[in-house]
Amino acid sequence: MNLDLHYLMSTERYVLDMESFQMKNEAYYPLEWTFYGAANPTMLLTWDANRDLIRVRFEQYAVFLGTQEEHGMKEDGLWNEHPIVKLSASRLMSFASERMSIDRVNRNRGALSHYVIRTIEQEFHVLAYEDPTVENLGKVGDTGVRVEIVEEVE
């Protein structure tokens, strides 16, 4: 299969390491990852204070497919040096179309795309109608802990 790749993070050789993943019960962003990111993998392994904190969010109609290994599939040609790519066609999309009837759900939203998020340890696969929001939240800092200040308590 000839793969049509579009790079969502233009940084080549940038490595992600997952900090957290949530399947939220929210109206707009049900899939959200937080990653540590760096151009040098050693920065991730040593908890370097200069590594970045990256948030990736997918819109409400996105479908988390997990990893290809979970589906017993191998797809050549997916490896690349970009951490997040978008494919217009893939074996995993064909599999999901046949087994999950994704081509009949939310047709009015447009065409689904296959997104691959490559981390230092594994790849995650998502089907979505819209590109994810990718935000660089800045440097982690020397403590390795990100502090969030909440003004009001619910």
Rounded Cα–Cα distance for residues 118 and 133 (Å): 16
The 8-class DSSP code of residue 96 comes to H
The 8-class DSSP code of residue 131 comes to P
pLDDT digits (tens, 9 = 90+) for 57-81: 998 788 887 766 555 556 555 566 7
Question: What is the per-residue pLDDT for 34?
Answer: 92
Give the residues across from 15 on adjacent strands.
Answer: 38
- Measured between its terminal Cα atoms, the distance across the chain in Å is 51
What does the pLDDT average to over 7-23? 78
Rounded Cα–Cα distance for residues 86 and 130 (Å): 10
Q: Parse the chain into domains and list their residue ranges.
A: 5-139
| Residue 79, token pair as written in the block | 């490896």
pLDDT digits (tens, 9 = 90+) for 94-129: 777 777 777 666 667 777 888 888 888 888 889 888
What does the pLDDT average to over 1-13? 55
DSSP assignments along 2-41, one per residue: ---EEESS--TT-EEEEEEEEE---SS--EEEEEEEESSH
pLDDT over 50 (residue 2) = no
- Percent of the chain's residues with pLDDT above 70: 69
pTM of the model: 0.76
The 8-class DSSP code of residue 118 comes to E
What does the pLDDT average to over 41-45? 90
Question: What is the per-residue pLDDT for 36?
Answer: 93
